[in-house]
Amino acid sequence: MSNTATSSPTHRADLPKEQRVFRTDVHGLRGLAVFLVVIYHVFVGRVSGGVDVFLFISAYFLTGTFVRRMETGKPIAAVGYWGRTFKRLLPPTVVVTFAILAATYIFLPPSSYVPMLKDAFFTLIQGENWWLINQATDYYAADRTAASPFQHFWSLSIQGQVFLAWPLLFALLALVLKAWERRFPPKSQHQHNIRVWGTSGIAIGAITLASFIWSVIETSADQQTAYFDTFARFWEFGLGGLVAIALPLIAERTDTLHPNSPKGRPWRFALSMLGVLALVSMGMLVDVAGKFPGWLAIWPLSAAAFIMVMGYNPILSSKPLQKLGGISYGLYLAHWPLLVLTLQVLEIPKAPFWLGVVLVIASLALAWLITKFVDTPFRRWKWAGAKTHRSVAVALVTVAIGLTPVVIAQSVLDAKAKKLELAAEINNPGAEVLNDENLYDPTNDPNVTILPTEADLPNDWFDAGPPCQKEGAPDTKEWKGASCNTSRQGRITGNNMLVVMGNSRMEQTSAAILPTAHKHGWDVMELTAPGCAVGMNNHDRCEPFTTQATAYLLSLHPSAVALQTTYVDENGDEVVNQGALDIAAKLRDAGIAVIATRDIPRLKTNLSSCAIEHAEAPSENCVEEIDPSIISDRPDGEAIANGGFFALDLNQSICPDAQCKPIIGNTYVFLDERHVTATYAATMAGIVDDQLSNEGFAW
């Protein structure tokens, strides 16, 4: 590089002033973007585009920083940048993380502790978006009570990953430029700047284009993953970077489009407000669920770019929006956990208007506190910012302070869970006592706790895992209580997948199938809707679900499907389920193995409630006798044999010798009159394995 380009690194005479002014309009835009996120989360339940703009603005300033360093010949100093940036960003994150964990401990049940700690861990290491992908999180789920209070950290994690990668990109570009100018020295500072802009623009443009193409493809094929995917979001940062590079070129050719220019302010303001209107209206005009972050994300980003190019907007530069911009980081951190935890404590899926107003006001107050007492002190900490090693040390210590209690708590809970699991194998064998006469039965031991506990009993439903995320999966929102969940992490394929299809009674049977499937290296999917027995309840609600579920299975082509081919009606009578047999035949003809499961007994009383009421002698007071035919030969036996299906019958283990008892093997058998508990069903896994093995089922 020639002396012209390097000997005077502080000479900026020919650099556009745009790069040296504080953009109050952009600062206000940041505040508006985050406020839109809050309003849409609390009141609307749609995507606002505010997060996309927030990421866009971050990249705008980030790119501008490194472009100016390259222009003046300064080193990129990636480590110093990381230290200064994360010194400021991490302390508020740690404070909010601790606040969420404390609220979880105080207000939520113990079952939520482990998931929260895992979320906290990935939040602190800037990987929450990948953890949410691993958990197949549905960002668009209408019921916020099922959401994690850490879920909003997905965007900050992506931002953190970009903050780590961007300096490395510019360090590489600086090396390329240095080699180029060593061979072809620039004739002037301006020529050097043009090379900086060109090199940076080409590199960022290529990355942006590649990421955008990937975003469109992945959004179309697997939107739930795309929403949180760093690579599908990279183009939004890239676009912000391109704007940062383009604005100096625009300002160089006209002094009208310049933040400090008095020229054309009326029409610049009018056009800027069109950009604001476009941003604010997107979420109201278009329901973008399932479409982000594909091509539709161009809408809010184009609006933001338009506002930046105009360079003048007194509304965005007004004091209220400047204040909002000043607390925008704290507002984003605070609003989501406050909303989700409130809804979870109150057990309501959505906040009514009055509560929403309270939550917004409370979020603003918390944001002010976070900004004043955490964000600002660390940002203005001169000692820490004076030396690179100090800022890096502060960032690392902050992460350590956050991670240490999280990791310790996780270890303690894991050890406790392992201890309880080992104890349960001895103290709560459940159905296993029916198959092994030598196995100790602790049912009558007063010192042993019956599982599930009385507190957990009403909610002892089986859950196969995260929601399905494959195109064509039934939209379970259409059927109240319906679920399409799977134990398989990531992308769903049919290979080594066993799908349990049917009603909620069949759903509970999944708990008996899952351990056996995992033992053989398979996964389980539950595709169920309450009250919708496959082939029987063909009314307006269930028939569409069964039709769509069957079509999905034929498309997915799992290795096996389990469904009930008998049906026990409200009177306790068992009949052949011909509709299910017809569907089973379709699946068999498609090359899918079918497990013909027998429906379970229906009781007249809630035996578990009876056992709790008569705790001194439940076996004497709470036994219900059923029709012996329900545990004898199956009415669909001939159809199973002729159809080439595999039979599964758990009724003898549920009501041995037609005697339905509330407790077997120190485990509650029944959730209510119609369902077994997931805990007891899981103890029948060995029975499932034995029966399917005897049937010749090939795992």
Average pLDDT, the chain: 89
Does residue 5 carry a pLDDT above 70? no
Sorted by where each begins, the domain ranges of the chain are 3-396, 463-694
Residue 290: count other Cβ atoms within 10 Å of its Cβ.
15
Q: What does the angle CA 132 – CA 136 – CA 141 come to, to the nearest 5 degrees?
A: 90
> pLDDT digit string (tens) for 500-550?
999 989 999 889 999 999 999 999 999 888 888 888 866 666 888 888 889
Rounded CA-CA distance 588/120 in Å is 45
Torsion of CA 335, 337, 343, 349, to 10 degrees: 80
Is residue 653 within 8 A of residue 687, CB to CB? The reply is: yes
d(CA 47, CA 245) in angstroms, rounded, equals 28
CB-based burial of residue 78 (10 Å sphere; 0-12 exposed, 13-18 middle, 19+ buried)? middle
pLDDT of 245 reads 94
Question: Are the CB atoms for 131 and 466 separated by under 8 Å?
Answer: no
Task: Give the separation between CA 514 and CA 462, rounded to whole angstroms.
Answer: 10
**How many whole angstroms separate alpha carbon 528 and alpha carbon 485?**
9
For residue 293, whether the previous peptide bond is cis, meaning omega lies within 30 degrees of 0, is yes
- How do beta strands 574-576 and 566-568 pair? antiparallel
Query: What tokens appear for 257 in the block?
Result: 């489009």
Q: Is the pTM of this model over 0.85?
A: no
The larger pLDDT score, comparing residue 124 to residue 224, is at 124
The Cα 110–Cα 374 span in angstroms is 30
Assess contact for 399 and 90: CB atoms under 8 A: yes
Residue 440 has pLDDT above 90, yes or no: no
| 524 three-state secondary structure | strand
Helix (H) or strand (E) holding 660: strand 659-660
Q: Residue 195 CA to chain centroid, in angstroms?
A: 42
What's the whole-number mean pLDDT along residues 333-338? 98
| Class of the CATH domain delimited by 463-694 | alpha beta
478 contacts: CB under 8 Å, gap ≥ 6: 544, 545
Percent of the chain whose pLDDT exceeds 90 = 66
Q: What is the mean pLDDT of residues 105-127?
A: 92
Q: What is the pLDDT of residue 453?
A: 83
Q: What is the pLDDT of residue 14?
A: 44
Q: Say whether pLDDT at 444 is over 70.
A: no
How does pLDDT run across 347-378, given as a tens digit for each residue? 888 999 999 999 999 999 999 999 999 999 99
Question: What is the average pLDDT across 16-36?
Answer: 82
**10 Å Cβ neighbour count for 141?**
15
The residues pairing with 647 across neighbouring beta strands, listed in sequence order, are 596
